[in-house]
Amino acid sequence: MPLTPSYGDRRAGPVVRLYRRTERKLLELLAKTLAPGIGHLAIWARRLLMRLGKFRRDVDTIITATDRELPARLTTALTGAWRDGATAARSDLPGRHNPPDERQLRRLIDDTLATVRATHDHVPRVLESVYRRTVYDALQAEQAGQTGGPVDRARVVQRALHAFARQGITGFIDARGRRYDLVSYVEVTVRSAITRAEVDAYCAQAQADGHDLVIVSDVSGACERCRPFEGQVLSISGTTVGAVSRAASNGRPVAVTVLCSIAEARARGLWHPGCRHTLSVWTPDDPAPPAAVRVPDEVRQARRRQRAVVRRERQRQRVAVVDSAMRNGEAPAMARQGSGEDRPNRDNLPEDIPPSPFDDATSPAEVAAILEQLHPVRVEGFDRPGVSLTVAQEYARAVHDMMTRYPQMQPNVIAIGEVRDPRAHRINARTPSRRSRDGGDWYVEQLLMNEMFAGDYEGWRTSAAQDVASGFHPPGFDRRPVYATIVHEFGHVLDVAGNHGARAEVARTLDRYYQQNYPLQPGEKPQDWMRKFNIWLHQLSEYCFKEEGGLELREALAESFAEVEIRGEDACEPAKVLYQLLLDKARRPQ
């Protein structure tokens, strides 16, 4: 497969969490130190100026602790990205592979570490400037008679800290002159380095295997900086430029024009932060550029709206940190998220669940924005009032895992909203589908979680525990009930991807499997054999059966799919049979 742009979502998380924690600690320190007390104005101001030395030392302590943790986290992120790029190249190239030259990786780690560490010198200056300016503003306001003593003084300080918290610790400028706050600057820097590591590793592996040419994909809505490179062939080493000819495997010569080197293309703007262009090895047998995912305009607009929501949410949380620190010297619970401070939000979840791109999200809206970056879907309703962050994250984790594992699963919309059904109070989620207007394939309209249940993760756990205990759902569904429910819904998506062809085969497939593996024994009565078959079949959860006892084909397929995905080898035998049937019937793009 060609290299695809990851945007660093999966790898950048630990570094971004580190700097969010640092930002929060610095805001808390500033607010606690400046929190005005009672007393004469001059005494208050003198006391704050006397505290300035200790404030500087405390800031330095926080920055030093961050500096100690940074190298390991950054090295892990970039090494993982390098591995991803090299793996993509090896999957594109047949035969044995030579080890790539990894000196570029070491240089990239050192350069990125230096760029991020440069922020550590700027942060103390920004904080001291805010400290002094806030004291000065309070003095000026009270001396001018604009305040009525300590109470109004507190309002002046709070307004100043609110203004600072909304914009964040700013003053960081990238190579293109764009301004960022501390966390955003570090995030953009690390994501850009991750993209570079992936591209460099891909090229290093290709070069180690004797290839020097790569071709850039075509992306709809590309910017002016990278559009000139779309569909162009580039040289990894820079030694091949201009018109060249290469012989295909059938001996036919294929002519191509090499535009420039990878280094020159990058210097001219290709793979800028957020760039969606991909590349693949160019060979005369495969001269076409890699296909790129086409993102509809409405999806791009929705993503921009989501990013705006995320920015506002981060501003709100910074202000909340300041208010709480001024009030009682503690950070609010929503900003602390667990005793590990920078640990991702996994409240009430098993400790052994794998990391995901959504672990770092601080709001359901941010979860939606990340999901839209990762997949060509429109995400709706995650910003509704009352949606639980844990529910949103588990929903997104399941969607991401399923769409990554099964490309034929392509619902257009992932949503939280109203389920219009008289039985809505009993429906956690649904996947309405319909046939195309020409009477051809079926397709899924959307995957919809009922908004009635989107705000109560504890309710999911309680209900799932009861259902598993009664046999209504398989064992294991209560460990991650939201995740299991969404995986079940993706079983329906896979059924639709096969145009419901699996349903007609359910009874025959189960019967054939049982006869082949548990044949009627000599002297065994058919009714006894059938009784054992029914016992075997009822290893499936009760959710797979109608009230009168027969299999509910649609639900049996989806539930079996979810059971195998959740339980793996521990899934019951009938579920494994139906799981394989569902996959076999859906082996086509939707």
482-532 pLDDT, tens digit each? 999 999 999 999 998 888 889 999 999 999 999 999 999 999 999 999 999
Share of the chain above pLDDT 90, in %: 42
The span from the CA of 76 to the CA of 68, in Å, is 14
- Token couple for 586: 């859906």
> According to the model, what pLDDT value does residue 332 have?
45
- Token couple for 379: 């995400």
Within-domain flag for 341: no
Residue type, 257: T
In this structure, the answer to whether residues 191 and 228 fall within a common structural domain is no
* Contact assessment for residue 393 and residue 345, using Cβ atoms and an 8 Å cutoff: yes
Whether the full predicted model's pTM is greater than 0.85, yes or no, is: no
pLDDT band at 376 (very low <50, low <70, confident <90, very high): confident
User: Which one, of 539, 288, 493, 307, lies nearest residue 398 by Cα?
Assistant: 493
Query: What would the mean pLDDT of 328-341 be, rounded to a whole number?
Result: 43
Helices of type H across 235-338: 262-267, 297-328, 333-336
The span from the CA of 270 to the CA of 259, in Å, is 13
- Token couple for 405: 């594992």
Strand locations in 397-501 (E): 413-417, 429-430, 433-435, 442-444, 447-450
Q: Which residue has the higher pLDDT, 174 or 4?
A: 174
Within-domain flag for 111: yes
> According to the model, what pLDDT value does residue 295 have?
63
The span from the CA of 382 to the CA of 260, in Å, is 44
Local structure of 66: helix, strand or coil: helix
> According to the model, what pLDDT value does residue 340 have?
41
Within-domain flag for 455: no
Residue 208 reports pLDDT greater than 50: yes
> According to the model, what pLDDT value does residue 36 have?
65
In this structure, the answer to whether residues 172 and 191 fall within a common structural domain is yes
In this structure, the answer to whether residues 82 and 109 fall within a common structural domain is yes
Q: b/e string for 190-204 if b means 16 or more Cβ within 10 A?
A: bbbbbbbbbbbbbbb
The span from the CA of 478 to the CA of 484, in Å, is 8
Instruction: Count the domains in the chain.
Output: 3
Q: Which domain holds residue 228?
A: 212-294
Within-domain flag for 325: no
> According to the model, what pLDDT value does residue 375 have?
82
Helix (H) or strand (E) holding 289: none
Within-domain flag for 513: yes
Residue 140 reports pLDDT greater than 90: no
In this structure, the answer to whether residues 192 and 247 fall within a common structural domain is no
- Token couple for 299: 């999806």
The span from the CA of 473 to the CA of 114, in Å, is 53
In this structure, the answer to whether residues 178 and 246 fall within a common structural domain is no
Q: What are phi and psi of 169, to 5 degrees?
A: -80, 100
- Which of 235, 268, 294 finishes a domain? 294
Listed range (214-228, 394-408, 443-457) with the worst mean pLDDT: 214-228
In this structure, the answer to whether residues 58 and 167 fall within a common structural domain is yes
User: Which one, of 179, 81, 73, 69, lies nearest residue 122 by Cα?
Assistant: 179
In this structure, the answer to whether residues 149 and 51 fall within a common structural domain is yes
- Which of 271, 294, 317 finishes a domain? 294
* Contact assessment for residue 172 and residue 182, using Cβ atoms and an 8 Å cutoff: yes
Residue type, 325: A
**Residue 87 burial by CB count (10 A; 0-12/13-18/19+): exposed, middle or buried?**
middle
Percent helix, percent strand, percent coil in the chain, to nearest 5: 55, 10, 35
> According to the model, what pLDDT value does residue 393 have?
94
Residues 6+ apart with CB under 8 A from 282: 211, 213, 214, 215, 233, 256
In this structure, the answer to whether residues 86 and 153 fall within a common structural domain is yes
Which DSSP letter does residue 283 get?
A: B
Residue 333 reports pLDDT greater than 50: no
Tokens 């109560």 locate to 456
Query: What would the mean pLDDT of 17-37 be, rounded to a whole number?
Result: 88
- Token couple for 279: 């590349």
- Token couple for 285: 């047998």
Within-domain flag for 167: yes
- Token couple for 241: 């430029």
In this structure, the answer to whether residues 26 and 112 fall within a common structural domain is yes
Strand locations in 8-69 (E): none
Residue 38 reports pLDDT greater than 60: no
Tokens 């919309």 locate to 413
Query: What would the mean pLDDT of 555-563 be, rounded to a whole number?
Result: 95
> According to the model, what pLDDT value does residue 55 have?
92
